[in-house]
Amino acid sequence: MFDGQPLQTLNMRQMLPYRSRIQIVFQDPFSALNPRLTVSQIIAEGLEVHQSLTKEQRETQVINTMIEVGLDPDTRHRYPTEFSGGQRQRISIARALILHPELLILDEPTSSLDRTVQAQILALLKKLQQQHQLTYLFISHDLQVIRSLCHKIVVMRNGEIVEQGDCETVFNAPQHTYTQNLLANSH
């Protein structure tokens, strides 16, 4: 359900107006970025599909978005293989952010990063969420990451929701035995 509309009932054509409003950042930036495209081309891809802009307007938006996610815009003509894992994840975030989505789905966006880079990406995500009033659907198994970023939590087991609620309530007073076991085993 998004904006009162059950998306699973829509066909491809009916889904078009929602595509730019919902973006995703995948778990593995190494495989999520096309190695044959430059960073500028990757980030601008959505603009070419969803907006009618000149090449110069797209380039300006790419530069501004790269700055916003902490990437040097002078590197925009390089290829993804020339960047570190954390930088690649910033490229993925920029690609999603450039369309000014309302909902950003983050699928384990920090799991392939070391703790230092993970903390930097989480700080960036918090900053972007505040600046753009973004809603995140954050998918993760890392309870520390969830607690640091999320306001509400949904705990799933075998594809079924077993518990949901405010972050602190779920962490401090879990109701379901599965949630209790998850939290007990995370220390």
Whether residues 126 and 177 share a domain: the answer is no
Q: What is the pLDDT of residues 97-117, one digit of tens each?
A: 999 999 999 999 999 899 999
- Show the domain range for 82: 7-143
Residue-wise pLDDT tens digits, 61-105 = 999 999 999 999 999 999 999 999 999 999 999 999 999 999 999
Residue 147 is predicted with a pLDDT of 92
* 111 found inside a domain: yes
pTM of the model: 0.92
The confidence band for 126, taking pLDDT boundaries of 50, 70 and 90, is very high
Instruction: Say what the pLDDT of residue 91 is.
Output: 98
If one counts the domains in the chain, the total is 2
> Where is pLDDT greater, at 31 or 152?
152
Q: The domain spanning residue 15 has which CATH number?
A: 3.40.50.300
Cβ neighbours of residue 127 under 8 Å, at least 6 residues apart? Answer: none
Same domain, 41 and 111: yes
Type of residue numbered 23: Q
Quote the CA–CA distance of 114 and 172 in Å, as a whole number. 27
